[in-house]
């Protein structure tokens, strides 16, 4: 359930089950306002709630900052770099991103997620970590680590708590190094049931 607007007529709720009078009465008593219920699919409500998970983003940024610091000082940098890539993939999956763009510039590396067809700037990493990140991606994708002037395509697989996903990898040389694009191929994102279309279970 999401309360998305309050007007003089009452509080507007988006509900997966707008016929749930028990919860409507409960919220009405707690707020002292009239409740206006609107139908929304469970999938849409989950997507909307995800936008407000600020603590998750804060935690991710703290973890990433810690891993970047370790990677910059540790003689054995493989583990921190692997953790950075794992965090990026997990965070992209949680935000339903279809692609991760890792692009170097003169002073830093830009991380962007493609969500619903639009590229969003997520964060920037120190430029000195970029080569380690692309090398790690090449190793996981079974690509040549000694090739830096030609485009390469490969694939890898990773296991998340939710599912095991395939990732298509593209490495392209650019002015300041190599740009990596990871396309996340999730099987769950392609699964739609009738209730995702707003049809109640009693009508199926």
Give pLDDT tens digits for 29-43: 999 999 999 999 887
Name the residue with higher pLDDT: 90 or 153.
153
State the chain's mean pLDDT as an integer.
84
Q: Which long-range contacts (CB under 8 A, 24 or more apart) does 143-148 make?
A: 143/169, 143/171, 148/173, 148/178
Taking each continuous run of H as one helix and of E as one strand, the counts in the chain are: 5, 9
**Contact call for residues 35 and 26 (beta carbons, < 8 A):** no
**Contact call for residues 59 and 34 (beta carbons, < 8 A):** no
Residues forming beta bridges with residue 169, ordered by sequence position: 154, 182
What is the structure's pLDDT at 51? Answer: 64
pLDDT at 174 over 90: yes
What is the structure's pLDDT at 69? Answer: 73
Query: Angle at CA 77, nearest 5°, toward 113 and 74?
Result: 120
Name the residue with higher pLDDT: 127 or 189.
127
CB within 8 A of 202, min separation 6: which ones? none
**Contact call for residues 195 and 113 (beta carbons, < 8 A):** no
* Residue range 44-67, pLDDT digits in tens: 887 777 666 555 556 666 767 777
Closest Cα to residue 50, out of 103, 109, 113?
A: 113
Task: State pTM to two decimals.
Answer: 0.64
Name the residue with higher pLDDT: 135 or 47.
135
Residues forming beta bridges with residue 5, ordered by sequence position: 12
pLDDT at 75 over 70: no
Name the residue with higher pLDDT: 3 or 53.
3
Residues 168-181, buried b or exposed e (16+ Cβ, 10 A)? ebbbeeeeebbbbb
Residues forming beta bridges with residue 101, ordered by sequence position: 112, 181
Q: What are phi and psi of 189, to 5 degrees?
A: -65, -15
What is the structure's pLDDT at 57? Answer: 58
């Amino acid at each position: 359930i999401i309360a998305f607007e309050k007007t003089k007529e009452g509080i507007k709720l988006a509900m997966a089950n707008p016929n749930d009078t028990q919860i409507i009465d409960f919220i009405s008593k707690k707020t002292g306002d009239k409740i206006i219920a609107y139908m929304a699919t469970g999938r849409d409500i989950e997507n909307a709630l995800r936008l407000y998970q600020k603590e998750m983003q804060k935690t991710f940024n703290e973890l990433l900052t810690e891993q970047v610091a370790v990677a910059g000082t540790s003689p054995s940098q493989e583990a921190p770099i692997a953790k950075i890539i794992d965090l990026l993939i997990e965070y992209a999956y949680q935000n339903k991103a279809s692609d991760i763009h890792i692009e170097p510039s003169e002073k830093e590396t830009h991380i962007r997620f493609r969500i619903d067809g639009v590229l969003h700037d997520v964060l920037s990493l120190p430029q000195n970590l970029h080569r380690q990140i692309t090398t790690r991606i090449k190793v996981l994708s079974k690509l040549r680590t000694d090739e830096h002037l030609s485009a390469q395509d490969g694939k890898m697989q990773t296991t998340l708590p939710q599912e095991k996903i395939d990732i298509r990898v593209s490495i392209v040389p650019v002015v300041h190094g190599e740009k990596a694009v990871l396309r996340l191929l999730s099987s769950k994102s392609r699964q739609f049931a009738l209730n995702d279309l707003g049809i109640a279970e009693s009508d199926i």
